[in-house]
Amino acid sequence: MGQLVDGIWHDEWYDTKSTGGAFKRDTSRFRNWVTADGAAGPTGQGGFKAQTGRYHLYVSLACPWAHRTLIFRALKGLTPHIDVSTVHPDMMSDGWSFDTDFPGATGDTLFGSAFLRDIYLRSEPECSGRVTVPILWDKQTDQIVSNESADIIRMFNSAFNDLTGNDDDNYPATLRDRIDALNDRIYDTVNNGVYKSGFATSQKAYDEAVHPLFDSLDWIEGILSENRYLAGDRITEADWRLFTTAARFDPVYHTHFKCNRAWLREYPNLWGWTRELYQWPGVAQTVDFAHIVRHYHYSHPTINPNRIIPINPVIDWDKPHGRGG
Ligand SMILES: N[C@@H](CCC(=O)N[C@@H](CS)C(=O)NCC(=O)O)C(=O)O
């Protein structure tokens, strides 16, 4: 675990001393957009036209943010158009590595690099900041397009439609206000809330994260008791963004990150909804519990210094979800 400062790797854990024990997530650095015609997107530079084979995705199968991009790649028929390299689940003193001695860790299939930071340095030799997955890489101009998963799933949702013929819309214009409001609360208190709880190094910071997390799970349970999906009767981006956290909740966050007021599977509607999304065509193939369980317990020495992988509950992900009847 570490970060780049002016192109030099520094091996250091998250700084929580300056924030009273609270984990603060950095904003992502590369914010360009692939668009259908190559025009600039909402942020960054233009010049990234949607083309088959041009872009490459770097992911960790453990990471909930990278997982979103794999789900959108599957749902939107992008698998033949965008290839993928998968890092090793153990994130050690050199950060994410391209070691291949774990099933499903592919190495860097583009350049054969040793570490994920080599991809950042290839794009920007004097780069500063955290070395995170996912990364969307442009083979044509040899640079990172984006390292922000929220943006990458929006690009995947629409930019490649002419190539794939898939116009399923997970961010429909009529529901955008609703989706944005859901995303705001769920990002802060749930997707990031589990990390804020788990990485807190003071009681106060933990308390300030874990109570809003469970308040939000109660609120979500209420929504899902009256609606099939978060924004109503159709599935949207808001559901997929929550799903990757929900899938990791009982295997990891409940125990490892001390999010243990309840198990996710104690919320009947949220648990049924999570299984429905897991069982959605193409999605189970993007979920890898071996990477998920291994990564968190192995890579956070401040939380789990002996790297013992817990036994974990046996969860029947394929049990009929009972939603929508
Ligand atoms: N805002 C980013 C966050 C990505 C992120 O934090 N990824 C984690 C893995 S779950 C990571 O690579 N962390 C490495 C680090 O912080 O050094 C996104 O959503 O794309």
> Tell me, what CATH number does 26's domain have?
3.40.30.10
CATH number of the structural domain spanning residue 248: 1.20.1050.10
Last residue of a domain, one of 164, 182, 205: 164
Half-sphere exposure in the Cβ direction for 194 (13 Å, CA) = 29
Indicate whether 160 and 177 sit together in one domain. no
CA distance 152 to 136: 7
Range of the domain at 81: 3-164
**Mean pLDDT value across residues 271-289:** 98
In a domain, 33, yes or no: yes
Summarize pLDDT for 4-45 with one digit per residue, the tens. Answer: 999 999 998 777 878 888 888 788 899 999 999 999 999 999
Last residue of a domain, one of 164, 189, 221: 164
Rg (CA), the chain: 19
Indicate whether 192 and 102 sit together in one domain. no
Binding-site positions for glutathione read 96, 130-133, 148-149
In single-letter form, the type of residue at position 247 comes to A
Question: What global pTM score does this model have?
Answer: 0.97
Atom from ligand 1 closest to the CA of residue 147: 20
**Mean pLDDT value across residues 81-108:** 98
Identify the sign of the CA torsion 171, 60, 9, 123: negative
Band of the pLDDT at 325, cuts 50, 70, 90?
low
ipTM: 0.98
**Mean pLDDT value across residues 298-317:** 94
Indicate whether 160 and 70 sit together in one domain. yes
Which strand (E) or helix (H) includes residue 129? strand 129-130
| Ligand 1 center–CA 131 separation, angstroms | 7
The count of domains in the chain is 2
| Ligand 1 center–CA 133 separation, angstroms | 5
Indicate whether 203 and 141 sit together in one domain. no
Indicate whether 146 and 73 sit together in one domain. yes
Active site residue 259: no
Which is catalytic among the residues 14, 55, 58, 63? 63
Determine the pLDDT at residue 168.
Answer: 98
* Token reading at 154: 């929006």
Report whether residue 151 contacts ligand 1, using a CB cutoff of 6 Å: no
Summarize pLDDT for 128-141 with one digit per residue, the tens. Answer: 999 999 999 999 99
Which strand (E) or helix (H) includes residue 99? none
CA distance 2 to 117: 10
In a domain, 186, yes or no: yes
